[in-house]
Structure 1
């Protein structure tokens, strides 16, 4: 299992790119970090890096995400990203805000501040809004509609501040929730974090959004 440590994970670029180097950073909580996966290679960052490398990008990956982080904690992660000259940041956050009942507007304000820092530093950003927490196995059936509504409210706030900051929004929550609700194997042993199989589903849903952002960045740089 991955150790829940805030230390950044770094992966050097691979040679032979078609499009040049791409400095990719993952920010956020345990989903961005990879808690629950059996191997580091199974987590979101390495999976997304493989997608980009297969498309011809040289990827320099840094994972700045911290397990347990809420949106307020993104500010520190964004500051750590600035000296890395990040080209593309993927921000995955919201599960802990929901679990700790942080008001949606307050959580969105934390996200907005971090996005401002990243965008001012020249990074393009893909925001992955909060997951639909109603599919977590230990949520009682009687409360699932309330949890789903709370998740949707936070997702709307996050999407609004992301678009206002010029970030792209990867709206993958519905597809991921459907897959997780249908198969408990998507969860790790704690029945909260994804398993390696669960991260594969999330990465597959995110890949088109991240690849599109990388291609747009390349095209803008070439213009």
Structure 2
């Protein structure tokens, strides 16, 4: 079988970077690399994500990605915007700029929206509805921003939130970042969207 070449970049925050994973192989980027490889792609992976990043920090990451001419970019962002109370319209506007810059260079963009942080163990039960509402508001603004620039949003937020809420083992020892098991769950939910983008490019090139 002839393998298709694919340049994949992963941008965003600590989840995109892999903080909390026990091994490099367990990180989101490496798991997506494995899924694409199994589908017949020869993958060149570049993880440019920075732990602690908010949406405004994507501009610098996109600039670093520019020389790579990526085929597909996976962007994971929003948790730190929520944690730092960045206004959702401001966070979404920064995301839109980043997605637009990537699309201008012909990169297909798959965005993983802000997680539902109400499932984080140290959030008091009484505050969880408020946290969940804030997350939903940001997710909606992110979806509109991404669509406006021709990117796609991976509809994984609800599925991942349910898995994390049901099993504390999804969290690493810091009770905030995903564990290796958590990254496996996120990657499994995200892989279909990334594979769809990669396969579409392969079909266009055929």
Indicate the TM-score class for this superposition, using the shorter chain for normalisation: over 0.9
The answer as to 2:86 corresponding to 1:102 is: yes
- Structure 2 residue aligned with 1:210: 194
- Structure 2 residue aligned with 1:134: 118
- Structure 1 residue aligned with 2:157: 173
Task: Give the whole-Å Cα distance in 2 for the aligned partners of 1:86 and 1:171.
Answer: 22
Task: Give the whole-Å Cα distance in 2 for the aligned partners of 1:133 and 1:78.
Answer: 26
Contact 1:25–1:62 (CA under 8 A) maintained in structure 2? yes
The answer as to 2:15 corresponding to 1:31 is: yes
- Structure 2 residue aligned with 1:182: 166
Is the partner of 1:22 in helix, strand or coil? strand
TM-score, with length taken from structure 1: 0.91
The answer as to 2:103 corresponding to 1:115 is: no
Contact 1:44–1:199 (CA under 8 A) maintained in structure 2? yes
Runs of 4 or more consecutive aligned structure 1 residues displaced over 4 Å after TM superposition: none
Task: Give the whole-Å Cα distance in 2 for the aligned partners of 1:18 and 1:27.
Answer: 28
Task: Give the whole-Å Cα distance in 2 for the aligned partners of 1:170 and 1:100.
Answer: 23
C-alpha displacement of 1:221: 2.2
- Structure 2 residue aligned with 1:143: 127
1:62-92 Cα shifts (integer Å, max 9, x gaps): 0000000000000000011110010000000
- Structure 1 residue aligned with 2:185: 201
Query: How big is the alpha-carbon RMSD for the aligned residues of Structure 1 and Structure 2?
Result: 0.8
Is the partner of 2:34 in helix, strand or coil? helix
The answer as to 2:57 corresponding to 1:73 is: yes
TM-score, with length taken from structure 2: 0.98
Query: How many residue pairs end up in the alignment?
Result: 206
Gaps of 5+ in 1: 1-16
Gaps of 5+ in 2: none
Task: Give the whole-Å Cα distance in 1 for the aligned partners of 2:54 and 2:201.
Answer: 28
